[in-house]
């Protein structure tokens, strides 16, 4: 794989993670509202993000994008876990 193809695959993977975080947030919102009874699997996304973040990314822009996505995940994770705590505490 050429360097340009490698950068493009990293870029697409980072975008995919960003979209998955947004999708998971919507799923957690439905869970919080009681529209679904199954808690979304945020741990799988977290492990995939961690595995991906261990890759060496030489492009500065992509590295910053990955940092932004990791930060976004951590912030959303705090929100999700608070929602779960509130949901179970209210019962």
Task: Report the largest interatomic distance among the alpha carbons of the chain, rounded to a whole angstrom.
Answer: 55
pLDDT digits (tens, 9 = 90+) for 31-72: 998 899 899 999 999 999 999 999 888 889 999 999 999 999
pLDDT of residue 14: 96
pTM of the model: 0.88
- Taking the alpha carbons at both ends of the chain, their separation in whole angstroms is 53
pLDDT of residue 89: 67
- Name, in order, each residue with C-beta under 8 angstroms of 25's C-beta and a sequence gap of 6 or more: 76, 79, 80
pLDDT of residue 90: 53
Domain boundaries, the chain: 16-89
């Amino acid at each position: 794989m050429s360097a340009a193809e490698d950068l493009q695959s990293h870029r697409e993977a980072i975008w995919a993670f960003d979209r998955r975080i947004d999708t998971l947030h919507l799923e957690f919102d439905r869970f919080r509202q009681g529209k679904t009874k199954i808690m979304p699997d945020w741990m799988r996304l977290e492990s995939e993000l961690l595995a991906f973040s261990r890759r060496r990314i030489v492009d500065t822009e992509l590295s910053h994008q990955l940092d932004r996505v990791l930060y976004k995940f951590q912030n959303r994770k705090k929100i999700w876990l608070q929602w779960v705590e509130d949901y179970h505490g209210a019962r």
